[in-house]
Structure 1
Protein backbone atom coordinates (compact mmCIF):
# COMPACT_ATOMS: atom_id res chain seq x y z
CA UNK A 1 0.00 0.00 0.00
CA UNK A 2 1.25 3.43 -0.99
CA UNK A 3 0.20 6.05 1.60
CA UNK A 4 0.64 8.79 -0.99
CA UNK A 5 -1.92 7.23 -3.32
CA UNK A 6 -4.93 9.44 -4.02
CA UNK A 7 -7.99 7.81 -2.53
CA UNK A 8 -10.84 9.74 -0.95
CA UNK A 9 -9.08 10.65 2.37
CA UNK A 10 -6.17 12.62 0.82
CA UNK A 11 -8.44 14.34 -1.70
CA UNK A 12 -10.80 15.29 1.12
CA UNK A 13 -7.83 16.59 3.13
CA UNK A 14 -6.74 18.71 0.15
CA UNK A 15 -10.25 20.12 -0.28
CA UNK A 16 -10.57 20.94 3.43
CA UNK A 17 -7.16 22.60 3.43
CA UNK A 18 -8.26 24.78 0.50
CA UNK A 19 -11.63 25.55 2.10
CA UNK A 20 -10.29 26.49 5.53
CA UNK A 21 -7.31 28.27 4.04
CA UNK A 22 -9.69 30.41 2.01
CA UNK A 23 -9.21 33.43 4.24
CA UNK A 24 -5.55 33.52 3.19
CA UNK A 25 -6.62 33.22 -0.45
CA UNK A 26 -8.85 36.26 -0.06
CA UNK A 27 -5.85 38.22 1.19
CA UNK A 28 -3.70 37.10 -1.76
CA UNK A 29 -6.22 37.06 -4.63
CA UNK A 30 -9.06 39.21 -3.32
CA UNK A 31 -7.40 42.46 -4.37
CA UNK A 32 -6.83 41.20 -7.91
CA UNK A 33 -10.42 39.99 -8.20
CA UNK A 34 -11.74 43.35 -6.93
CA UNK A 35 -9.54 45.20 -9.41
CA UNK A 36 -10.75 42.89 -12.15
CA UNK A 37 -14.43 43.69 -11.53
CA UNK A 38 -14.03 47.43 -10.86
CA UNK A 39 -11.93 47.87 -14.00
CA UNK A 40 -14.83 46.74 -16.17
CA UNK A 41 -16.52 49.77 -17.78
CA UNK A 42 -19.84 50.60 -16.02
CA UNK A 43 -21.80 49.97 -19.20
CA UNK A 44 -20.54 46.37 -19.24
CA UNK A 45 -20.99 45.50 -15.54
CA UNK A 46 -23.90 43.10 -15.85
CA UNK A 47 -24.12 40.38 -13.16
CA UNK A 48 -23.69 37.69 -15.80
CA UNK A 49 -20.54 39.29 -17.24
CA UNK A 50 -18.96 39.89 -13.83
CA UNK A 51 -19.74 36.32 -12.75
CA UNK A 52 -18.19 35.01 -15.96
CA UNK A 53 -15.03 37.06 -15.41
CA UNK A 54 -14.67 35.88 -11.81
CA UNK A 55 -15.18 32.25 -12.82
CA UNK A 56 -12.70 32.70 -15.66
CA UNK A 57 -10.11 34.14 -13.30
CA UNK A 58 -10.49 31.24 -10.89
CA UNK A 59 -10.40 28.71 -13.72
CA UNK A 60 -7.07 30.16 -14.84
CA UNK A 61 -5.80 30.12 -11.25
CA UNK A 62 -6.70 26.46 -10.73
CA UNK A 63 -5.21 25.49 -14.11
CA UNK A 64 -1.94 27.06 -12.94
CA UNK A 65 -2.13 25.07 -9.70
CA UNK A 66 -2.65 21.89 -11.73
CA UNK A 67 0.26 22.70 -14.04
CA UNK A 68 2.56 23.35 -11.08
CA UNK A 69 1.36 20.17 -9.37
CA UNK A 70 2.10 18.08 -12.47
CA UNK A 71 5.57 19.62 -12.88
CA UNK A 72 6.54 19.16 -9.24
CA UNK A 73 5.17 15.61 -9.17
CA UNK A 74 7.22 14.85 -12.31
CA UNK A 75 10.30 15.88 -10.36
CA UNK A 76 9.14 13.51 -7.64
CA UNK A 77 9.17 10.60 -10.10
CA UNK A 78 12.87 11.25 -10.69
CA UNK A 79 13.63 11.47 -6.98
CA UNK A 80 11.64 8.33 -6.14
CA UNK A 81 13.63 5.94 -8.34
CA UNK A 82 14.81 3.92 -5.33
CA UNK A 83 12.63 2.31 -2.65
CA UNK A 84 14.45 4.29 0.06
CA UNK A 85 13.76 7.58 -1.70
CA UNK A 86 10.09 6.65 -2.09
CA UNK A 87 9.76 5.98 1.63
CA UNK A 88 11.47 9.30 2.42
CA UNK A 89 9.05 11.14 0.11
CA UNK A 90 6.09 9.39 1.75
CA UNK A 91 7.38 10.40 5.18
CA UNK A 92 7.71 13.95 3.87
CA UNK A 93 4.09 13.84 2.66
CA UNK A 94 2.87 12.73 6.11
CA UNK A 95 4.85 15.51 7.81
CA UNK A 96 3.43 18.08 5.38
CA UNK A 97 -0.08 16.90 6.24
CA UNK A 98 0.58 17.47 9.93
CA UNK A 99 1.99 20.96 9.24
CA UNK A 100 -1.08 21.75 7.11
CA UNK A 101 -3.33 20.62 9.96
CA UNK A 102 -1.47 22.88 12.41
CA UNK A 103 -2.01 25.77 9.99
CA UNK A 104 -5.73 25.03 9.66
CA UNK A 105 -6.20 24.96 13.43
CA UNK A 106 -4.25 28.22 13.87
CA UNK A 107 -1.75 26.38 16.10
CA UNK A 108 1.25 27.22 13.90
CA UNK A 109 1.62 29.60 10.95
CA UNK A 110 5.12 28.63 9.87
CA UNK A 111 3.88 27.58 6.43
CA UNK A 112 3.42 31.23 5.52
CA UNK A 113 7.17 31.77 5.75
CA UNK A 114 7.73 29.78 2.56
CA UNK A 115 5.95 32.53 0.58
CA UNK A 116 9.28 34.33 0.40
CA UNK A 117 10.42 31.60 -2.00
CA UNK A 118 8.08 32.81 -4.74
CA UNK A 119 8.42 36.56 -4.38
CA UNK A 120 11.32 36.72 -6.82
CA UNK A 121 9.35 34.88 -9.52
CA UNK A 122 6.30 37.09 -8.95
CA UNK A 123 8.32 40.22 -9.83
CA UNK A 124 8.49 38.94 -13.40
CA UNK A 125 4.87 37.76 -13.63
CA UNK A 126 3.14 40.79 -12.11
CA UNK A 127 3.87 43.16 -15.04
CA UNK A 128 2.39 40.60 -17.45
CA UNK A 129 -0.84 40.55 -15.46
CA UNK A 130 -1.05 44.34 -15.50
CA UNK A 131 -1.00 44.32 -19.31
CA UNK A 132 -4.22 42.29 -19.31
CA UNK A 133 -6.13 45.01 -17.44
CA UNK A 134 -8.86 46.09 -17.88
CA UNK A 135 -10.30 42.61 -18.30
CA UNK A 136 -13.46 42.63 -20.40
CA UNK A 137 -13.49 39.08 -21.76
CA UNK A 138 -13.38 35.61 -20.25
CA UNK A 139 -10.16 34.63 -22.10
CA UNK A 140 -8.49 37.71 -20.57
CA UNK A 141 -9.80 36.71 -17.14
CA UNK A 142 -8.46 33.18 -17.57
CA UNK A 143 -5.08 34.62 -18.56
CA UNK A 144 -5.01 36.90 -15.53
CA UNK A 145 -5.96 33.98 -13.28
CA UNK A 146 -3.26 31.82 -14.84
CA UNK A 147 -0.71 34.42 -13.80
CA UNK A 148 -2.33 34.92 -10.38
CA UNK A 149 -1.97 31.21 -9.73
CA UNK A 150 1.77 31.81 -9.31
CA UNK A 151 1.34 34.37 -6.50
CA UNK A 152 3.63 33.60 -3.53
CA UNK A 153 1.35 31.56 -1.27
CA UNK A 154 2.29 29.37 1.69
CA UNK A 155 -0.71 27.00 1.45
CA UNK A 156 -0.14 26.49 -2.29
CA UNK A 157 3.55 25.74 -1.75
CA UNK A 158 2.59 23.27 0.97
CA UNK A 159 0.29 21.46 -1.43
CA UNK A 160 3.05 21.43 -4.06
CA UNK A 161 5.36 19.80 -1.52
CA UNK A 162 2.71 17.11 -1.11
CA UNK A 163 2.52 16.76 -4.91
CA UNK A 164 6.28 16.18 -4.95
CA UNK A 165 5.83 13.26 -2.56
CA UNK A 166 3.03 11.78 -4.67
CA UNK A 167 5.52 11.49 -7.56
CA UNK A 168 2.83 11.11 -10.23
CA UNK A 169 2.05 14.02 -12.59
CA UNK A 170 -1.62 13.12 -13.09
CA UNK A 171 -2.21 12.64 -9.37
CA UNK A 172 -0.25 15.79 -8.58
CA UNK A 173 -2.47 17.79 -10.93
CA UNK A 174 -5.60 16.21 -9.46
CA UNK A 175 -4.50 17.01 -5.92
CA UNK A 176 -3.95 20.67 -6.82
CA UNK A 177 -7.28 20.81 -8.66
CA UNK A 178 -9.17 19.60 -5.59
CA UNK A 179 -7.27 22.06 -3.38
CA UNK A 180 -8.17 24.86 -5.82
CA UNK A 181 -11.85 23.88 -5.76
CA UNK A 182 -11.71 24.08 -1.98
CA UNK A 183 -10.61 27.72 -2.18
CA UNK A 184 -13.51 28.72 -4.45
CA UNK A 185 -16.30 29.22 -1.88
CA UNK A 186 -14.37 31.82 0.10
CA UNK A 187 -13.50 33.73 -3.07
CA UNK A 188 -16.84 33.56 -4.90
CA UNK A 189 -19.64 33.83 -2.34
CA UNK A 190 -20.80 37.31 -1.35
CA UNK A 191 -23.21 39.04 1.00
CA UNK A 192 -25.04 37.09 3.71
CA UNK A 193 -23.77 33.73 2.41
CA UNK A 194 -20.19 34.97 2.63
CA UNK A 195 -20.66 36.08 6.23
CA UNK A 196 -22.21 32.74 7.17
CA UNK A 197 -19.49 30.74 5.43
CA UNK A 198 -16.78 32.95 6.91
CA UNK A 199 -18.15 32.43 10.41
CA UNK A 200 -18.22 28.66 9.89
CA UNK A 201 -14.68 28.56 8.48
CA UNK A 202 -13.30 30.72 11.30
CA UNK A 203 -15.09 28.84 14.06
CA UNK A 204 -12.53 27.19 16.32
CA UNK A 205 -14.49 23.93 16.56
CA UNK A 206 -14.63 23.59 12.76
CA UNK A 207 -10.94 24.22 12.32
CA UNK A 208 -9.95 21.98 15.24
CA UNK A 209 -12.10 19.08 14.02
CA UNK A 210 -10.69 19.36 10.49
CA UNK A 211 -7.11 19.59 11.80
CA UNK A 212 -7.51 16.55 14.05
CA UNK A 213 -9.00 14.55 11.16
CA UNK A 214 -6.04 15.40 8.91
CA UNK A 215 -3.55 14.59 11.68
CA UNK A 216 -5.27 11.22 12.18
CA UNK A 217 -4.88 10.48 8.47
CA UNK A 218 -1.22 11.53 8.61
CA UNK A 219 -0.64 9.21 11.57
CA UNK A 220 -2.26 6.40 9.59
CA UNK A 221 0.21 7.13 6.79
CA UNK A 222 3.13 6.99 9.22
CA UNK A 223 1.92 3.70 10.71
CA UNK A 224 1.57 2.28 7.19
CA UNK A 225 5.11 3.37 6.38
CA UNK A 226 6.38 1.81 9.60
CA UNK A 227 4.81 -1.46 8.51
CA UNK A 228 6.47 -1.19 5.09
CA UNK A 229 9.84 -0.47 6.74
CA UNK A 230 9.54 -3.49 9.02
CA UNK A 231 8.59 -5.69 6.06
CA UNK A 232 11.73 -4.56 4.21
Structure 2
Protein backbone atom coordinates (compact mmCIF):
# COMPACT_ATOMS: atom_id res chain seq x y z
CA UNK A 1 0.00 0.00 0.00
CA UNK A 2 1.23 3.47 -0.83
CA UNK A 3 2.24 4.80 2.62
CA UNK A 4 1.34 8.30 1.64
CA UNK A 5 -2.21 7.37 0.77
CA UNK A 6 -2.07 9.99 -1.97
CA UNK A 7 -1.82 7.95 -5.10
CA UNK A 8 1.62 9.57 -5.40
CA UNK A 9 4.90 7.69 -5.37
CA UNK A 10 6.21 7.90 -1.79
CA UNK A 11 9.50 9.46 -2.91
CA UNK A 12 7.67 12.23 -4.76
CA UNK A 13 5.52 12.96 -1.73
CA UNK A 14 8.60 13.00 0.56
CA UNK A 15 10.32 15.48 -1.76
CA UNK A 16 7.25 17.72 -1.70
CA UNK A 17 7.12 17.58 2.10
CA UNK A 18 10.74 18.70 2.18
CA UNK A 19 9.96 21.66 -0.05
CA UNK A 20 6.95 22.62 2.06
CA UNK A 21 9.07 22.43 5.19
CA UNK A 22 11.49 25.04 3.86
CA UNK A 23 10.17 27.66 6.27
CA UNK A 24 11.01 25.47 9.25
CA UNK A 25 14.40 24.52 7.81
CA UNK A 26 15.43 28.14 7.40
CA UNK A 27 14.13 29.04 10.83
CA UNK A 28 16.02 26.22 12.51
CA UNK A 29 19.11 25.72 10.33
CA UNK A 30 19.43 28.99 8.42
CA UNK A 31 21.48 30.54 11.19
CA UNK A 32 23.77 27.52 11.26
CA UNK A 33 24.34 27.71 7.51
CA UNK A 34 25.10 31.41 7.67
CA UNK A 35 27.47 31.00 10.63
CA UNK A 36 29.36 28.23 8.86
CA UNK A 37 29.61 30.32 5.70
CA UNK A 38 30.95 33.40 7.45
CA UNK A 39 33.33 31.31 9.59
CA UNK A 40 35.37 30.59 6.46
CA UNK A 41 38.37 32.99 6.34
CA UNK A 42 37.73 35.86 3.89
CA UNK A 43 40.75 34.87 1.82
CA UNK A 44 39.21 31.43 1.22
CA UNK A 45 35.63 32.61 0.70
CA UNK A 46 35.47 32.18 -3.07
CA UNK A 47 32.10 31.25 -4.63
CA UNK A 48 33.47 27.88 -5.75
CA UNK A 49 34.78 26.98 -2.28
CA UNK A 50 31.62 28.14 -0.52
CA UNK A 51 29.46 26.17 -2.94
CA UNK A 52 31.54 23.06 -2.32
CA UNK A 53 31.32 23.44 1.45
CA UNK A 54 27.57 24.03 1.38
CA UNK A 55 27.05 20.96 -0.79
CA UNK A 56 29.30 19.00 1.57
CA UNK A 57 27.30 20.01 4.64
CA UNK A 58 24.07 18.97 2.99
CA UNK A 59 25.46 15.73 1.59
CA UNK A 60 26.49 14.69 5.08
CA UNK A 61 23.13 15.78 6.49
CA UNK A 62 21.16 13.77 3.92
CA UNK A 63 23.34 10.69 4.45
CA UNK A 64 22.47 10.84 8.15
CA UNK A 65 18.78 11.15 7.28
CA UNK A 66 19.11 8.05 5.10
CA UNK A 67 20.82 6.13 7.89
CA UNK A 68 18.09 7.09 10.35
CA UNK A 69 15.41 6.16 7.80
CA UNK A 70 16.90 2.72 7.27
CA UNK A 71 17.20 2.09 11.02
CA UNK A 72 13.66 3.20 11.78
CA UNK A 73 12.22 1.25 8.84
CA UNK A 74 14.05 -1.84 10.11
CA UNK A 75 12.21 -1.40 13.39
CA UNK A 76 9.00 -1.09 11.37
CA UNK A 77 9.56 -4.53 9.85
CA UNK A 78 9.45 -5.98 13.36
CA UNK A 79 6.37 -4.02 14.42
CA UNK A 80 4.28 -4.37 11.24
CA UNK A 81 3.81 -8.12 11.38
CA UNK A 82 0.03 -7.89 11.04
CA UNK A 83 -2.40 -5.86 8.96
CA UNK A 84 -3.66 -4.14 12.11
CA UNK A 85 -0.15 -3.12 13.14
CA UNK A 86 0.56 -1.74 9.66
CA UNK A 87 -2.57 0.41 9.78
CA UNK A 88 -1.66 1.69 13.25
CA UNK A 89 1.77 2.70 11.95
CA UNK A 90 0.18 4.54 9.01
CA UNK A 91 -2.23 6.34 11.34
CA UNK A 92 0.74 7.34 13.48
CA UNK A 93 2.54 8.65 10.40
CA UNK A 94 -0.48 10.75 9.42
CA UNK A 95 -0.74 12.15 12.95
CA UNK A 96 2.94 13.10 12.94
CA UNK A 97 2.44 14.84 9.63
CA UNK A 98 -0.38 16.94 11.08
CA UNK A 99 1.78 17.81 14.09
CA UNK A 100 4.52 18.83 11.67
CA UNK A 101 2.12 21.17 9.88
CA UNK A 102 0.99 22.77 13.14
CA UNK A 103 4.63 23.23 14.07
CA UNK A 104 5.58 24.86 10.76
CA UNK A 105 2.68 27.32 11.00
CA UNK A 106 3.45 28.14 14.64
CA UNK A 107 -0.11 27.12 15.57
CA UNK A 108 0.98 24.55 18.14
CA UNK A 109 4.45 23.60 19.35
CA UNK A 110 3.69 20.18 20.79
CA UNK A 111 6.27 18.63 18.48
CA UNK A 112 8.96 20.31 20.58
CA UNK A 113 8.32 17.62 23.18
CA UNK A 114 9.36 15.02 20.61
CA UNK A 115 12.50 17.02 19.84
CA UNK A 116 13.38 16.93 23.53
CA UNK A 117 13.89 13.17 23.25
CA UNK A 118 16.52 13.67 20.53
CA UNK A 119 18.43 16.19 22.64
CA UNK A 120 19.83 13.34 24.74
CA UNK A 121 21.57 11.89 21.69
CA UNK A 122 22.61 15.34 20.48
CA UNK A 123 24.51 16.04 23.70
CA UNK A 124 26.90 13.23 22.76
CA UNK A 125 27.23 14.23 19.09
CA UNK A 126 27.63 17.99 19.44
CA UNK A 127 31.22 17.80 20.77
CA UNK A 128 32.20 15.72 17.69
CA UNK A 129 30.89 18.47 15.42
CA UNK A 130 32.82 21.13 17.30
CA UNK A 131 36.07 19.24 16.76
CA UNK A 132 35.54 19.50 12.99
CA UNK A 133 35.46 23.30 13.07
CA UNK A 134 36.51 25.62 11.56
CA UNK A 135 35.57 23.99 8.28
CA UNK A 136 37.76 24.85 5.30
CA UNK A 137 37.77 21.56 3.36
CA UNK A 138 34.94 19.56 1.79
CA UNK A 139 35.62 16.32 3.75
CA UNK A 140 35.29 18.36 6.95
CA UNK A 141 32.02 19.78 5.66
CA UNK A 142 30.64 16.32 4.89
CA UNK A 143 31.63 15.10 8.36
CA UNK A 144 30.08 18.09 10.10
CA UNK A 145 26.95 17.72 7.98
CA UNK A 146 26.69 14.08 9.00
CA UNK A 147 26.73 15.15 12.65
CA UNK A 148 24.31 18.00 11.96
CA UNK A 149 21.87 15.50 10.44
CA UNK A 150 21.16 14.19 13.95
CA UNK A 151 20.22 17.60 15.31
CA UNK A 152 16.83 17.25 17.09
CA UNK A 153 14.21 18.29 14.55
CA UNK A 154 10.47 17.70 14.69
CA UNK A 155 10.25 17.95 10.90
CA UNK A 156 12.71 15.08 10.48
CA UNK A 157 11.02 13.03 13.17
CA UNK A 158 7.69 13.43 11.40
CA UNK A 159 9.20 12.07 8.20
CA UNK A 160 10.85 9.21 10.08
CA UNK A 161 7.35 8.19 11.10
CA UNK A 162 6.70 7.55 7.40
CA UNK A 163 9.83 5.41 7.21
CA UNK A 164 8.56 3.45 10.19
CA UNK A 165 5.23 2.88 8.42
CA UNK A 166 6.94 1.76 5.20
CA UNK A 167 8.75 -0.98 7.15
CA UNK A 168 11.40 -1.48 4.45
CA UNK A 169 14.99 -0.35 5.21
CA UNK A 170 15.89 0.44 1.60
CA UNK A 171 12.66 2.32 0.98
CA UNK A 172 13.02 4.08 4.34
CA UNK A 173 16.49 5.31 3.37
CA UNK A 174 15.28 6.44 -0.06
CA UNK A 175 12.28 8.20 1.47
CA UNK A 176 14.55 10.23 3.76
CA UNK A 177 16.89 10.96 0.85
CA UNK A 178 13.99 12.38 -1.14
CA UNK A 179 12.89 14.44 1.84
CA UNK A 180 16.43 15.73 2.34
CA UNK A 181 16.66 16.73 -1.31
CA UNK A 182 13.39 18.61 -0.89
CA UNK A 183 14.90 20.68 1.92
CA UNK A 184 18.07 21.30 -0.09
CA UNK A 185 16.99 24.35 -2.15
CA UNK A 186 16.06 26.43 0.90
CA UNK A 187 19.22 25.58 2.81
CA UNK A 188 21.57 26.03 -0.14
CA UNK A 189 20.20 29.47 -0.93
CA UNK A 190 20.16 30.31 2.76
CA UNK A 191 23.91 29.88 2.89
CA UNK A 192 24.30 32.74 0.44
CA UNK A 193 21.25 34.91 1.07
CA UNK A 194 19.91 34.04 4.51
CA UNK A 195 18.30 37.38 5.31
CA UNK A 196 16.58 37.94 1.98
CA UNK A 197 15.15 34.46 1.56
CA UNK A 198 14.58 33.88 5.26
CA UNK A 199 12.22 36.84 5.53
CA UNK A 200 10.13 35.54 2.65
CA UNK A 201 9.92 31.92 3.76
CA UNK A 202 9.32 32.75 7.41
CA UNK A 203 6.43 35.03 6.44
CA UNK A 204 3.18 34.01 8.10
CA UNK A 205 1.37 33.53 4.79
CA UNK A 206 4.10 31.21 3.49
CA UNK A 207 4.01 29.10 6.63
CA UNK A 208 0.21 28.95 6.55
CA UNK A 209 0.06 27.75 2.95
CA UNK A 210 2.71 25.09 3.64
CA UNK A 211 0.92 23.90 6.80
CA UNK A 212 -2.49 23.67 5.13
CA UNK A 213 -0.99 21.73 2.23
CA UNK A 214 0.64 19.21 4.57
CA UNK A 215 -2.58 18.82 6.58
CA UNK A 216 -4.43 18.13 3.33
CA UNK A 217 -1.91 15.37 2.54
CA UNK A 218 -2.38 13.85 5.99
CA UNK A 219 -6.18 13.95 5.83
CA UNK A 220 -6.07 12.31 2.42
CA UNK A 221 -3.99 9.55 3.99
CA UNK A 222 -6.59 9.04 6.72
CA UNK A 223 -9.44 8.98 4.21
CA UNK A 224 -7.55 6.45 2.12
CA UNK A 225 -7.21 4.16 5.12
CA UNK A 226 -10.92 4.45 5.86
CA UNK A 227 -11.83 3.78 2.23
CA UNK A 228 -9.75 0.60 2.18
CA UNK A 229 -11.35 -0.57 5.40
CA UNK A 230 -9.86 -1.00 8.84
CA UNK A 231 -8.91 -4.58 9.66
CA UNK A 232 -10.93 -6.25 12.38
**Normalising by structure 1, what TM-score?**
0.84
Shift of 1:197: 4.2
Q: Report the secondary structure of 1:231's partner residue.
A: coil
The reply on whether 1:8 has 2:8 as its aligned counterpart is yes
After TM superposition, the structure 1 stretch with the greater mean CA deviation from structure 2, 56-65 or 205-214, is 205-214
Question: Residues 94-127 of structure 1: CA distance to partner in whole angstroms, max 9, x if unpaired?
Answer: 2222222222333222112211111111111111
CA gap 1:220/1:57 in 2 versus in 1, 3 angstroms: same
Q: Match of 2:156, SS?
A: helix
Cα offset, 1:167, TM superposition: 1.2
Distance 2:231 2:25 in 1: 42
Identify the range of structure 1 (165-174 vs 58-67) with the bigger mean alpha-carbon deviation: 165-174
Q: Deviations over 1:126-151 (max 9, x none)?
A: 11112212222111110010011111
- Correspondence for 1:129: 129
Structure 1: gaps (5+ residues) = none
Change (3 A) 1:177 1:192: closer
Most deviating of 182-191 and 119-128: 182-191
Say if 2:3 and 2:165, in contact at 8 Å, map to a contact too: no
Q: Bigger shift: 16-25 or 153-162?
A: 16-25
User: Are the aligned partners of 1:20 and 1:201 in contact in 2 as well (CA < 8 Å)?
Assistant: no
* Matched positions, count: 232
Per-residue deviation, 1:4: 4.2
RMSD of Structure 2 on Structure 1 (CA)? 2.8
- How far residue 192 of structure 1 moved from its aligned partner, in angstroms, is 9.6
In the TM superposition, what is the alpha-carbon distance from 1:70 to its structure 2 partner?
1.0
Which residue number corresponds to residue 46 of structure 2? 46
